Amino acid sequence: MLYNLHMLMMYVKKHLDSVMTIYASSQTSGGGRCHCTQLRKASRRISQLYDETLAPSGLKTTQRAILAEIARSQPMTMGALAQAMVMDAGGLAHTLKPLHRDGLVEIGVDPDDRRSRRITITVSGRAKLTASDALWDAAQHGFEEVFGAQPSAALRAALEVLAASDFVDRFEQSLAQNGVGRS
């Protein structure tokens, strides 16, 4: 993880001008100082754009991401999928319901641990995922065309660092060092 962070910092230093241009334009838009609020706003905006692009496929961005994760890693337990998607179990269960109802995933008992549920993608689910590929590619291309290929790569690297469990550990250590702890 430290290697990824080091590579990100090297990339940002190399492309500091374009990063500063993006930063300067964000300061004129009333961005505020809260990292969490800005990340949530950006996430909602980009999700809306991707959802609109994916609409002809009948999938939402989160549903497509879940199908793609299951297809890459199946079979998966609910816990492993929730961890991979950085979702709580309740949110994941809610998002899986229409996928299960529509026959895109199967949810069964995990033979290795009967207390757990195992999720697999169906043939229909794999076909739906494949059918959505061109729309997802269009959304990716649109994002990179507007935001820029290099800033997009830097953003993905930064977001990967933020989504990693190592970041959570370091964040909690920082809070503890400042006398703030989780209750």
Residues 166 and 39: their CA atoms lie apart, in Å, by 19
CB half-sphere exposure, 54, CA atoms < 13 A: 23
Return the CATH architecture of domain 35-148. Orthogonal Bundle (1.10)
| pLDDT at res. 58 | 95
Name the residue ranges covered by the structural domains of the chain. Answer: 35-148
Residues 61 and 54: their CA atoms lie apart, in Å, by 7
Q: Which residues contact 26 (CB under 8 A, 6 or more apart)?
A: 38
| pLDDT at res. 164 | 85
| pLDDT at res. 89 | 87
| pLDDT at res. 1 | 44
Residues 8 and 71: their CA atoms lie apart, in Å, by 29
| pLDDT at res. 9 | 53
Asked whether the bond before 56 is cis by omega within 30 degrees of 0, the reply is no
| pLDDT at res. 105 | 96
| pLDDT at res. 16 | 53
Residues 15 and 126: their CA atoms lie apart, in Å, by 38
pLDDT in tens, the chain (183 residues): 444 445 545 555 555 555 556 555 555 555 577 888 888 999 999 999 999 999 999 999 999 999 999 999 888 888 899 999 999 988 999 999 999 999 999 998 878 878 888 899 999 999 999 999 999 999 999 999 998 999 999 999 988 888 888 888 888 888 888 887 665
